[in-house]
Amino acid sequence: NPKTKEQIENLLRNGMNKELRDRLCCRMTFGTAGLRSAMGAGFCYINDLTVIQSTQGMYKYLERCFSDFKQRGFVVGYDTRGQVTSSCSSQRLAKLTAAVLLAKDVPVYLFSRYVPTPFVPYAVQELKAVAGVMITASHNRKEDNGYKVYWENGAQITSPHDKEILKCIEECVEPWNGSWNDNLVDTSPLKRDPLQDICRRYMDDLKKICFYRELNSKTTLKFVHTSFHGVGHDYVQLAFQVFGFKPPIPVPEQKDPDPDFPTVKCPNPEEGESVLELSLRLAEKENARIVLATDPDADRLAVAELQENGVWKVFTGNELAALFGWWMFDCWKKSKSRNADVKNIYMLATTVSSKILKAIALKEGFHFEETLPGFKWIGSRIKDLLENGKEVLFSFEESIGFLCGTSVLDKDGVSAAVVVAEMASYLETMNITLKQQLINVYEKYGYHISKTSYFLCYDPTTIKSIFERLRNFDSPKEYPKFCGTFAILHVRDITTGYDSSQPNKKSVLPVSKSSQMITFTFQNGCVATLRTSGTEPKIKYYAEMCASPDQSDTTLLEEELKKLIDALIENFLEPSKNGLTWRSV
């Protein structure tokens, strides 16, 4: 690639040795979402070469794992990201991924245009391929891209596959003959385009989670949808059609793909009102009460609703999950066959997400389970449960990642968007808003008030020392017993596998040595977790007050939570001492 070659030559010419070392002396590793990094030259960046190397490693590993690899083939999808300065685009990287495999006589299902991320795991399962890759950096800043790997079960890879693939990548870093030949995509008889077929099957499967088609076709509610300059527009339009809705109103400035994301500070709908500005203004103009925002690769969903007082309510991931959990269970109850057993029903969430599903499950009699953070763990667990004849109605992670049903084993913003529309239309017939229904859910199952945010920290050693201090707080190998004035009941450390609440002091969730994560359970019923991000230079914190249904004084609960978070930041993260950057709201 002449552009990336030029970047390295310029650094060399200008004697930028530190930057050269940073770029060339380390390799990307698999995080919670596969490989993710900035686009540009160097082994720790996403570029033509590192994608070729990763795919060669994948080939080597898959050949070892599957004797029928060359019969079953491999799926490749991509989003709409790109960077002119390194002539690097998701589409080009997808073509190179396909070329490496086609040159080795592997059949490749390469989508002929951009698709939502969930289409890749869906295609892997439907086409019975051995694995798949999606070229995307989801909602990261525009400079980034990524390489997300799915296994034959349609879930993202988990340990030990990630470690083994990395080993294989390191064994074959020199491009093979044919690896650069992206013309193969146009000439090889082994390349197939699964777009029409997969889109048709996906839309057909959506019908399984549609319960009120008739009602949807008559609703007076209007919806605005923004796809954040990404892939979502066409697919959300189709999904609305399947559910019997009139099409949602698109935000014209954000409807078409644009790798520069020109109208938003960052392309992450999780950031709330500041990034939803255009869609909220359009909704007011069009008299639409609900805004649906899919992130650039359409695997996450943000929702906002106009309140009676003219203020917009942007729901958090945890609040939306409370609504989805209630809705999916309610629909199951109303449509189940006579002999269906509630004990066969499951809902899942990652351990840093709200415990609201646990409260609903306890009251209604179904099962709730937690997994490690990252949807890859949810996907794998769903697969196990389905193989044992169980039914999983809903799964989520608090960072607005939702999965209704089990047609896909990854979070899916397209299906989540249309399910919210159906839920809102159903509630509208009873003059209930989403916000009012959320209160109804909390009144019935107990208020769950949570807050999630983060600090930026670009220095890995600072991050490490923050967590090591917590492991050796007042004395060596002793975790803190208090946080300010708040007494700590239990500590669970996923990095080391310690859990003070278990009889054998060992964590039930698997150990995850590569990332930092400690959870504190407080005497007052609050649960707080500190962890590093698997995809960005962040220290995240999650805190939730879980109240019983008889505690309905929300002001009191909110005050207590705020005080606790302040204590957590001041005592455990020490932002000024550690030079952490506060999240800018």
Residues identified as active-site: 138
Give the total residue count for the chain. 585
Tokens (6 digits) for 396: 């989520």
H or E segment and range at residue 522: strand 517-522
CA-CA distances (angstroms) from residue 106 to 51, 79, 546?
17, 23, 51
Strands 74-78 and 35-38: unpaired
Q: Would you give the end-to-end CA distance of the chain in angstroms? A: 39
H or E segment and range at residue 282: helix 273-286
Tokens (6 digits) for 198: 């997969």
Distance in angstroms (rounded) separating the CA atoms of residues 357 and 445: 9
> CB–CB of 110/190 below 8 Å?
no
> CB–CB of 244/214 below 8 Å?
yes
User: Angle at Cα 194 formed by Cα 189 and Cα 198, nearest 5°?
Assistant: 160
| CB burial string 52-80: b at 16+ within 10 A, e below | bbbbbbbbbbbeeeeeebbebbbbbbbbb
> CB–CB of 530/518 below 8 Å?
yes
Distance in angstroms (rounded) separating the CA atoms of residues 42 and 50: 8
The torsion angle over the Cα atoms of residues 531, 532, 533 and 535, rounded to 10 degrees, is -160
H or E segment and range at residue 556: helix 554-568
HEC string for 250-264 = ECHHHHCCCCCCCCC
- Tokens 């989520």, located at residue: 396
Three-state DSSP at 314 gives strand
Cα 225 to chain centroid, rounded: 19
> CB–CB of 304/277 below 8 Å?
no
> Beta strands of 398-515 (E only): which ranges?
401-404, 448-456, 482-483, 486-493, 498-499
Distance in angstroms (rounded) separating the CA atoms of residues 470 and 459: 18
CA-CA distances (angstroms) from residue 126 to 94, 153, 232, 315?
20, 10, 21, 33
Three-state DSSP at 37 gives strand
